[in-house]
Structure formats: C-alpha cells, structure tokens
C-alpha cells in the first residue's frame, strides 16, 4: 500500500468514527473501508455537510455536559464544539468551512437573474464602478450613479415620488434572486394600500447603500428604499437588507437611515413579513418626516 493510500484510509476511518452514514443503496462506502477506499476509482460517500443536521454534530469526543452542548447547538448556527485534531481543525469542520466559503464566493461574484428583474419590471442602471474587482476595492464609486444612469432615470422615472424603491445585488446576488420576488409585491401593495405615491422602481448594478443619496437627489424623492444583498456569512449567503431614509441627499450617512437586515426564509426574517414591516416603517418615516437617529429621538427611543 502506498503512503497516499494509507493516508486516505486513515482519514476515511476517522470520518467513520465521527458518525458518517452508510451509502443509502447499501453499497460498501469508502468510509467503511470497502474496496473503493483507496487507489483508482476512489469514491467518498460523505453526507451533505451543509445541512442543519450536519452542522449540529459536535466534534468534541467527550464533552463535560453533552446535553447542554446539544441544546446549545440547536439554538445557533455559530461554529461551536468543533473540536480539533492536534493543533488543526477536524476534517468535518474544515470541509464545512471550505464549502461555506465557496458558497459565499458564488454569492459575491454571482449575477442577478434577468428573469427576476423582468418579472418585477425593473430596468437597470449603473454606478461609477467599472467592474466587479473595482466594486470590491472602491466602495465610494458604488455610492454614486453614473452620468448615463442619471439621464436614464430622468427619462424613465416618475419625478418627486413619495416613495422610490430600488434594488441592488450588493454583496450577494443570491439574496436578490431568492428574496426579492417574494418581498417586493408585498412591499408595493402595502405602500399602495396606504395611498402613497410610488416612483418607478429600477435595479442598480454594483451599488452600495449610500447610492440612495444620489437617487433621492435625482428624483427629489421623499423616501428612498434600497433592497440590497448583504455581505454573505459562512452558511448564510442569501440574506437581504432593506435600508431607507427620509429625503436622502448628499452628505447623509447611515445615521440618517433605518435598516431591516437578515431577510431570508433560511433562519432570518421571512421576506413576506419583511415586506409588510418595511411598508410600516416607510409610513412612519413619512408621518414624522425623519429617519435614523432623528426618528428614534422623535419616537422617544434611546
């Protein structure tokens, strides 16, 4: 047996001791030490490590309080009780981390499905960002609409709306693909039911949250709402945020905005519920003509 085969057999044997399931078809798997455990035709019959059940498996061989640890793992997606192999992470933990990291990269570098935009009637404009690499390196450019975008907006959008809605992939195209088709109709209907005058919605390519200042100035909007993909976390790559501000203009910052984050039906705020809540916050913003810390002060918050 070669050194490589010996290493493979040792790794698979360890995975077997950590509770790997046998092949559902009853075939001898690599972790069982079957004929395909090493050499040509190697097959690793491992479970999907990204499932909630797999995430809740403890890597500690002998925890002081197994029941308490199991209960803790049921309540959070944080990486707890992962254990270690000497100074290194255990194989299961490392594989899960690598899988999660790969998913986040797909989210960051992915593209919003054109069918999603078309289904909601969104046309697309650009910021001053030239490409994906510059988007990551120059957040300031993502906060400014391009000259062509401003011209397109002036031509195609309703001027001086009470509420202007825009969408952007941000740092997760998956967030828009997964959540926007569910959230947007609820938000729009909630605003129309309140008798509010809505602007023409559109999509902004490679945008940052601060772009709502340019949108507010271009359309003289009272409230601008941006639905944008969040920075993906390990294991949650498709969460979306809704930022909004009262009369956003140049110089306004996050202190002048309100935010609902972690919008996803995978362990966060359900998109349907989020749409209704954002409509309520918009109505409150219009009633008090304020947002962010100023709105908190008017409402008597800390």
Q: Which domains does the chain have, with CATH numbers?
A: 1-47 (no CATH), 111-298 (3.40.50.11240)
| CB-based contacts of 301, cutoff 8 Å, min separation 6 | none
| CB-based contacts of 171, cutoff 8 Å, min separation 6 | 107, 108, 229, 230, 231, 232
Predicted local distance difference test score (pLDDT) of residue 18: 57
Longest CA–CA separation in the chain, Å: 77
Higher pLDDT, 90 or 292: 292
| CB-based contacts of 147, cutoff 8 Å, min separation 6 | none
Residue 88 clears pLDDT 70, i.e. is over it: yes
Residue 301: band (very low, low, confident or very high) from pLDDT cuts 50, 70, 90: low
Share of the chain above pLDDT 70, in %: 84
Predicted local distance difference test score (pLDDT) of residue 39: 45
Predicted local distance difference test score (pLDDT) of residue 167: 98
Number of residues in the chain: 302
Residue 79: band (very low, low, confident or very high) from pLDDT cuts 50, 70, 90: confident
Predicted local distance difference test score (pLDDT) of residue 65: 92
Report CA torsion sign: 208, 184, 166, 224.
Answer: negative
The 10 Å Cβ neighbour count of residue 224 is 31
Q: Let me know: does 240 contact 263? Beta carbons within 8 Å.
A: yes
Residue 146 clears pLDDT 70, i.e. is over it: yes
Predicted local distance difference test score (pLDDT) of residue 240: 96
Higher pLDDT, 277 or 24: 277
Residue 38 clears pLDDT 60, i.e. is over it: no
Predicted local distance difference test score (pLDDT) of residue 236: 80
Of 58-62, 76-80, 113-117, 187-191, which range is least confident? 76-80
Predicted local distance difference test score (pLDDT) of residue 47: 61
**How far is the CA of 166 from the CAs of 197, 199, 208, 225, in angstroms?**
15, 9, 12, 6
Residue 124: band (very low, low, confident or very high) from pLDDT cuts 50, 70, 90: very high
First to last CA, the chain: 69
Tens of pLDDT, residue by residue over 200-256, are 999 999 999 999 999 999 999 999 999 999 988 767 889 999 999 999 999 999 999
Of 12-21, 92-101, 217-226, 278-287, which range is least confident? 12-21
Predicted local distance difference test score (pLDDT) of residue 28: 43
Which tokens sit at 196? Answer: 């509010």
Residue 174: band (very low, low, confident or very high) from pLDDT cuts 50, 70, 90: very high
Report CA torsion sign: 222, 170, 116, 145.
Answer: positive
| CB-based contacts of 281, cutoff 8 Å, min separation 6 | 244, 258, 260
Higher pLDDT, 106 or 20: 106
The 10 Å Cβ neighbour count of residue 152 is 18
Q: What is the mean pLDDT of residues 62-78?
A: 87
Residue 32 clears pLDDT 80, i.e. is over it: no
Query: What predicted TM-score, i.e. pTM, was given to this entire model?
Result: 0.77
């Amino acid at each position: 047996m070669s050194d490589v085969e010996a290493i493979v057999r040792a790794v698979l044997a360890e995975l077997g001791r950590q509770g790997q399931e046998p092949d559902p078809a009853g075939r001898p798997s690599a972790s069982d030490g079957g004929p395909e455990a090493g050499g040509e035709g190697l097959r690793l019959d491992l479970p999907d490590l990204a499932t909630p059940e797999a995430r809740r498996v403890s890597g500690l061989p002998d925890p002081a309080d197994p029941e308490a640890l199991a209960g803790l793992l049921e309540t959070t997606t944080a990486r707890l009780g992962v254990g270690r192999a000497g100074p290194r992470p255990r194989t299961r933990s490392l594989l899960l981390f690598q899988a999660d990291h790969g998913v986040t990269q797909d989210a960051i570098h992915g593209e919003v499905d054109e069918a999603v935009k078309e289904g909601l009637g969104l046309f697309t404009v650009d910021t001053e960002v030239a490409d994906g690499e510059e988007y990551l390196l120059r957040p300031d450019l993502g906060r400014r609409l391009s000259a062509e975008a401003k011209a397109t907006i002036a031509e195609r959008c309703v001027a001086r709306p009470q509420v202007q809605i825009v969408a952007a992939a941000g740092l997760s195209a998956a967030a828009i693909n997964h959540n926007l088709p569910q959230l947007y109709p609820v938000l729009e209907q909630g605003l129309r039911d309140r008798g509010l005058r809505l602007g023409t919605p559109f999509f902004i390519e490679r945008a940052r949250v601060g772009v709502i200042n340019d949108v507010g100035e271009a359309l003289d909007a009272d409230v601008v709402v941006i639905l944008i993909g969040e920075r993906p976390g390990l294991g949650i790559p498709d969460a979306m945020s809704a930022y909004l501000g009262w009369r956003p203009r140049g110089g306004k910052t996050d202190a002048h905005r309100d935010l609902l984050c972690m919008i996803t039906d995978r362990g966060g705020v359900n998109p349907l519920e989020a749409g209704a809540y954002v409509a309520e916050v918009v109505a409150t913003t219009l009633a008090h003509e304020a947002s962010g810390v100023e709105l908190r002060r008017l409402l008597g918050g800390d």
